Amino acid sequence: MEFSDVEGELSSTLFTQDEIHAKVAELARRIEADYAGKELLLVGVLRGAVMIMADLARELTMHVEMDWMAVSSYGSGTQSSGVVRILKDLDSDLHDRHVLIVEDIIDSGLTLSWLRANLESRGAASVEICTLLRKPEAARVEVNVRYVGFDIPPAFVVGYGLDFAERYRNLRGIGVLAPHVYE
């Protein structure tokens, strides 16, 4: 879907497909340099990370493995609570593996903080995080994130994997949802 397909539903556009792809390429160059000579396992967090995972993995010029987790945060509505339940676990054994968690967005930081500790406890050689978006003003817990695409204001953003009520994930770019859509 293009921005023109959701005209009137966004209050602003944040990043076009081209801007996202340029940023993903930048992140890929850094990841290649940092993991040169190492075996890397990319762990995507369903469902939002599907787009960044697909683009990042294809942009990388090194072999990687890909695995997926689905987690759900207990809590009311759209707010993370920090109590995380695993809905789908990894198929891979993490012992001695270099793991890079791939996310679409870090909001409060509660999900990623829990997830990193969980993956570290499985004996990984290293666990780092790559996120396309981060909302620094929404942070409730400090998470050390090695690769950040864009820092954004605390607005309701959709597109490129990010949803509102499961819609907008297939929008090519990223925009701010207009209040009349969710109010």
Is residue 159 involved in binding ligand PRP (CB under 6 A)? no
Interface segment toward ligand PRP; rule CB under 6 A; list 3-11, 34-42, 92-100, 106-114: 106-114
Restricting to residues 107-136, name those near ligand PRP by CB under 6 A: 107-112
Is residue 160 involved in binding ligand PRP (CB under 6 A)? no
Determine whether 34 is an active site residue: no
Question: Closest Cα partner for 100 from 53, 170, 41, 157?
Answer: 41
Pairing of strands 84-88, 64-73: antiparallel
Is residue 98 involved in binding ligand PRP (CB under 6 A)? no
Restricting to residues 16-35, name those near ligand PRP by CB under 6 A: none
Phi, psi of 74 (to 5 degrees): -65, 145
- Catalytic hit among 5, 107, 151, 163: 107
Interface segment toward ligand PRP; rule CB under 6 A; list 1-9, 36-44, 52-60, 104-112: 104-112
Is residue 42 involved in binding ligand PRP (CB under 6 A)? no
Active site residues: 107
Residues forming the site for ligand PRP (CB under 6 A): 45-48, 73, 80, 103-112, 163
